[in-house]
Every structure is written in structure tokens, then in C-alpha cells.
């Protein structure tokens, strides 16, 4: 396990591994059936929409991700900080992914 995610729940580390592997189906399976992702001002609701969102990202940009830290931010919420570099506008960014968990799965992910 990455030291930066050592205190994160297993579902978050599973999501991060699936995202790094560009496995859209495995990413979607980390969410509740009605889970949502908010990314770049767009909301994707449900596993099919989340799978489509990941397919769109995989086809649009090539990038690497380095998780720089994680911590709980509430009873069922966690923040994961990461640095990404790639061929997207600006070439690099520091992001905070805010996860809300429900029954061992991701209910909401805000990327910002």
C-alpha cells in the first residue's frame, strides 16, 4: 500500500488502483449503484455514467498520478491529495479528491 494512502479505507485504494490502471468498469464498481462524481463542473450519476466519465478521461488525456496524502475528514468522508502531470491543459495540477462512503462503497466523489 502506498504510504500516502495507508490510512484510507480499502475501497479508496481500490478506486485509485483501478483509475491508475485505466479500468473504467473497475472504477464504476467502486461506487454505490446511485453514486455520483463531480469533476470539472459536471456531475455523473450512476455506475453507467461514471464508467462513461472514466472512458472519456482515458481517451482524452495521458497523465501520471502521485498521491501525496490522505486523511479522514468526517465519519464517512476522506480527502486524498494528489499531484498529476500529463498532456492536459496546464500540464500539471494538485487536486483534492473528497470521498463520501456508504456501506463500504463510494457514494460521492468530488474532484477539485
CATH of residue 33's domain is 3.10.450.50
Confidence band of 1 (pLDDT split at 50, 70, 90)? very low
Count how many domains the chain has: 1
Q: Residues 107, 12: contact at Cβ < 8 Å? A: no
**How buried is 89 (Cβ within 10 angstroms: 0-12 exposed, 13-18 middle, 19+ buried)?**
exposed
Q: Would you put residue 103 in left (φ > 0), alpha (ψ -120 to 50) or beta?
A: left
The SS3 of residue 6 is coil
pLDDT tens digits for range 11-26 = 999 999 999 999 999 9
Which parts of the chain fold into alpha helices (H)? 10-20, 24-29, 47-60
pLDDT band at 2 (very low <50, low <70, confident <90, very high): low
Domain membership of residue 75 as a residue range: 3-111
SS percent in the chain: helix, strand, coil, step 5: 30, 45, 25
pLDDT tens for residues 74-89? Answer: 999 999 999 999 999 9
pLDDT over threshold 90, residue 108? yes
Mean pLDDT, all residues of the chain: 93
Phi, psi of 65 (to 5 degrees): -120, 135
CA–CA distance from 16 to each of 66, 89, 90 (Å)?
10, 22, 22
The per-residue pLDDT for 4 is 72
- The predicted pLDDT at position 52 comes to 97
Amino acid at each position: 500500500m502506498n504510504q500516502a494512502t495507508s490510512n484510507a479505507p480499502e475501497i479508496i485504494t481500490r478506486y485509485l488502483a483501478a483509475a491508475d490502471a485505466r479500468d473504467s468498469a473497475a472504477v464504476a464498481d467502486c461506487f454505490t449503484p446511485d453514486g455520483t462524481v463531480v469533476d470539472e463542473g459536471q456531475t455523473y450519476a450512476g455506475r453507467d455514467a461514471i464508467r462513461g466519465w472514466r472512458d472519456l478521461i482515458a481517451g482524452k488525456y495521458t497523465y501520471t498520478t502521485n498521491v501525496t496524502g490522505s486523511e479522514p475528514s468526517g465519519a464517512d468522508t476522506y480527502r486524498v491529495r494528489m499531484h498529476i502531470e500529463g498532456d492536459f491543459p496546464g500540464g500539471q495540477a494538485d487536486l483534492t479528491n473528497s470521498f463520501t462512503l456508504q456501506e463500504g462503497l463510494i457514494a460521492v466523489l468530488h474532484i477539485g
